[in-house]
Amino acid sequence: MAAIIQAKNLSKVYKTGDLEIVALVDVSFEIKKGEFVAIMGPSGSGKSTLMHIVGALDTPTSGTYILDGEEVQKLSEDELADIRNRKIGFVFQAFNLLPRRTAMQNVMLPMIYARIPKEERIERGKKYLHMVGLGDRLEHTSNQLSGGQQQRVAIARALVLNPAILLADEPTGNIASTQAAEIMEIFQNLNDEGHTIVMITHEADIAEHAKRIIHIKDGKIEKDGNEHKQRRANGHRNNN
């Protein structure tokens, strides 16, 4: 299958005055269409930096990053915004819904930036909110929804523009464990339907829902593989 993400020799160096902080060193990997990848690592390992580059929120200091056929590392700020809009569906740890807006208004926001006509926005917004099981809460505002429900609105929002990848940053970090399981179920269903998912997490039991885990440590890929699949088959039940 075609590679959706091709990262070659990615490096990222932050400069603060005379101090140079190396966050990523020569990282290369590929993610194919339909994969469900977890990126794991302790804090300070560089996984957030990697997620920012993968999410086109930031550009690497060196190396090339090709997302769905487009070379992202040389794009301008506004072009990056366009790439994020069309190709990436974000799911954040803190949900990041617009406060005091309804679920529908939140889900329709990226479609406004994509200049989709209003009728279609409403139609698609309803469709995706139904899909995440919130068909009866279209007009609820964010503060009227539980953490799990808010994250489901965020997932619907991430999906409405049919992105190349779904990029989730600690998607269950802020919600109760029972609801976390529901969220992971949604992710797995989406993956089964063919969506490519990249998930950043530091929780091993969440990472195990993925088919492939990339371990990051000190800015380098420490381990990358499907070798845990066996472990998952055994460990999944134990963890639950």
Partner 1 sequence: MSISKGEQMDTEIITEAIGTLTVNKLRTSLATLGIVIGIGSVIALVSLGQASAQAIQSQIQSLGSNLLTVQPSGQNQGGVQGAAGGGTTLTLEDAVAIKTSPQITTVSEVSPEYSSRTQVTTGRTNTNTQVVGVTPVYADVRNVTVESGNFITDSQVNSMAKVAVLGPTVVEDLFGENANPIGQTVRINGQTFTIVGITASRGGTGFQNQDDMIWVPITTAQKQLFGASHVTSIAVEAKSADAMVDAQNEVGYLLLSRHKLKNPENKDFSIFNQQDLLNTVNQTTGTFTTLLAGVAAISLLVGGIGIMNIMLVTVTERTREIGLRKALGAKKKTIITQFLVESIILTFVGGVIGIGVGILVSYLYSYFTSSVFVVSPNSVLLAFAVSAGIGILFGWYPAQRAANLQPIEALRYE
Residues that bind partner 1 (CB under 8 A): 52, 55, 57-58, 77-78, 81-82, 84-86, 90, 92, 94, 96, 98-101, 105, 109-110, 112-115, 117-118, 157
When the beta carbons of 41 and 89 are compared against partner 1, the nearer one is 89
Smallest gap from Cβ 235 to partner 1, in A, equals 32
Q: 162 CB contacts (<8 Å, ≥6 apart)? A: none
Rg (C-alpha) for the chain, rounded Å, is 18
Smallest gap from Cβ 14 to partner 1, in A, equals 11
When the beta carbons of 13 and 57 are compared against partner 1, the nearer one is 57
Smallest gap from Cβ 160 to partner 1, in A, equals 10
**Contact 203/181 with Cβ under 8 angstroms?**
no
Smallest gap from Cβ 3 to partner 1, in A, equals 23
When the beta carbons of 20 and 77 are compared against partner 1, the nearer one is 77
**Joined tokens for residue 185:** 């179920």
When the beta carbons of 30 and 82 are compared against partner 1, the nearer one is 82
When the beta carbons of 84 and 126 are compared against partner 1, the nearer one is 84
Smallest gap from Cβ 91 to partner 1, in A, equals 11
Write the DSSP assignment of 163-207 as a string of letters. -SEEEEESTTTTS-HHHHHHHHHHHHHHHHTT-EEEEEES-HHHH
User: CB pairs under 8 A, 24+ apart, for 228-235?
Assistant: 232/208, 235/208
Q: 43 CB contacts (<8 Å, ≥6 apart)? A: 202
Q: Mapping DSSP to helix (H, G, I), strand (E, B) and coil, where does residue 27 land?
A: strand
